[in-house]
Amino acid sequence: MTQRVHIIGAGMAGLAAAVRLAHLGENLTIYEAAPRAGGRCRSYHDPHLDCVIDNGNHLLMSGNSAAMTYLKGLGAMDTLAGPAEAAYPFVDVETGARWTIQLGDGAIPWWVLNAQRRVPGTKLTDYMSVLRLLRAGPRDTVAKCVGTHGALYRNFWEPLTVGAINTAPDKAAARLMSSVLRDTFLRGGAFCKPLIARNSLAETLIDPALEKLQAAGAKVLFGTRVRALVIAQGRVAALDADGTAVSVAENDVVILAVPPWVAETLIPDMKVPPPGEHIVNVHYRLQQAITPPGDVRIVGVIGGLAQWVFARGEIASVTISAASAVVEQSAEDIASRCWRDVVLALALTDMAEPPSRVVKERRATFDQTPETQALRPEPVTSYPNLLLAGDWTATGLPATIEGALRSGFRAAALASERILPHRHAA
């Protein structure tokens, strides 16, 4: 009998699992409730701005090994854009001060020895807080490890934590930040160059994957919601796909790659981490392009409503993470307040506020505090033919694209291992 892998969810975790399994020659069916793939990484044509925009600004780093492997396998590395060096420009809204954190390519952080390359107002000894973070216990927060005072906290630890974990430092799990540092900053500038989609998330992360799946003969069913898993004799025996029973053969494998609030409705007694913070993004369509074709600008904002500003052609975008205090405000107010930060960050002093689109992701990430980390499940479940994938599973990383892709690759490896013995037996 031909084994099949049923993948429920075509977000980044589901696509990663599907692409890896397609490469291994597995038979695949992917079920996606939405009319498009990508989940929280999606692109669409906005009628108000009359152009394609992304739902949000998803920043990758060159040290994101799963993301780089995924994109290389799809032949999509040339769809990324970013500076040639690991450079992070910042502007302080309150003082107007500007500086750039610029790391060398080597693993030894010589840059902290140079006062001109450090965060303004910091001393060499301030960076010893990194060691406390690396030794963090399971109950520690970022703030507990690095403190909440001084220039390094305000101008580095706070924006980095909020951006990477979507949680304020006094609540964010320190071990998640430690994982981020180990994969990027502590490996040197070659591993922490900021990268974003050159044109759109769809072009970079989604479309190449769908093309590869189509070429491999995978079935991708959009607008098909799996409403229940039918359990019989201790295994998943069938899927309820919008009222249609889909049989799961004895040697088939099911990968559940959906958000946690969906997973807990499908698996009896499933415990998942609760919802966490929101993310708000604002996209402005400028009157003219402010970057050359294919080029991008990324500026961190300190002391403003905006936290990061991304410029790509004629689109300027703002990200506000950990946005509980903002998400209920009107789109008009948010756009107007953020525009002042954009003007400063990109030096657009003579430009009037352009048309904008505010995108509110109300369930952007799960709760990423120390208390909830134990609720992140492993990919293996109590059902022998059911695996889990998603950035909310026990990846050891924050809820990021990198975490989602790693979880998908891990689920694919486990699925292939389970199919292989049956294939040889046949």
Q: pLDDT tens for residues 1-40?
A: 458 999 999 999 999 999 999 999 999 999 999 999 999 9
Residues 293-314 have a mean pLDDT of: 94
Q: Which residues pair with 31 in a beta bridge?
A: 8, 221
Residue 144 lies in a domain: yes
Residue 413 in tokens:
């490896």
Q: What is the pLDDT of residue 423?
A: 56
- 263 shares its domain with 216: yes
- 182 shares its domain with 100: yes
- 264 shares its domain with 213: yes
User: Which range of residues forms the domain containing residue 33?
Assistant: 4-41+201-274+372-425
- 378 shares its domain with 262: yes
Query: Which residues lie closer than 8 Å to 383 by C-beta, 6 or more apart?
Result: 231, 234, 235, 236
Residues 61-69 have a mean pLDDT of: 97
pLDDT greater than 90 at residue 109: no
Q: pLDDT tens for residues 130-165?
A: 999 999 999 999 999 999 999 999 999 999 999 999
DSSP assignment letter at 29: E
CB atoms inside a 10 Å sphere around CB 314: 16
The number of folded domains in the chain is 2
Residue 292's pLDDT band, with cuts at 50, 70 and 90, is confident
Residue 156 in tokens:
């580095």
Residues written for the chain: 426
What is the rounded average pLDDT for all residues in the chain? 94
Residue 421's pLDDT band, with cuts at 50, 70 and 90, is low
- 129 shares its domain with 21: no
pLDDT greater than 60 at residue 425: no
pLDDT greater than 70 at residue 181: yes
Of 87, 64, 86, 90, nearest to 77 (Cα)?
A: 64
Residue 77 lies in a domain: no
More reliable by pLDDT, 311 or 114 = 311
Q: pLDDT tens for residues 84-107?
A: 889 999 999 999 999 998 887 777
Residue 142 lies in a domain: yes
- 30 shares its domain with 153: no
Residue 19 in tokens:
């692409």
pTM above 0.85, yes or no: yes
Residue pair 279/361 in contact by the 8 Å Cβ criterion: yes
Residue 60 lies in a domain: no
Q: What is the pLDDT of residue 424?
A: 44
Residue 279 lies in a domain: no
Going across the sheet that includes 244-247, the strands are 226-232, 235-241, 244-247
Q: What is the pLDDT of residue 1?
A: 44
Q: pLDDT tens for residues 170-179?
A: 999 999 999 9
Chosen domain end from 163, 192, 221: 192
Q: What is the pLDDT of residue 349?
A: 84
Residues 368-377 have a mean pLDDT of: 97
SS3 of 9, please?
A: coil
pLDDT greater than 80 at residue 124: yes
- 156 shares its domain with 207: no
Report the share of the chain in percent with pLDDT over 90: 87
- 181 shares its domain with 92: yes
- 179 shares its domain with 114: yes
- 258 shares its domain with 378: yes
SS3 of 415, please?
A: helix
- 169 shares its domain with 103: yes
Q: pLDDT tens for residues 269-280?
A: 899 999 999 999
Residue 119 in tokens:
């965060």
Chosen domain end from 192, 223, 245: 192
SS3 of 88, please?
A: strand
Q: pLDDT tens for residues 211-262?
A: 999 999 999 999 999 999 999 999 999 999 999 999 999 999 999 999 999 9
Residue pair 392/376 in contact by the 8 Å Cβ criterion: yes
Domain with 220 in it: what CATH number? 3.50.50.60
- 257 shares its domain with 398: yes
Q: Strands of 146-234 (E only): list them.
A: 194-197, 219-222, 226-232
> Which range, of 4-18, 119-133, 274-288, 299-313, averages the lowest pLDDT?
119-133
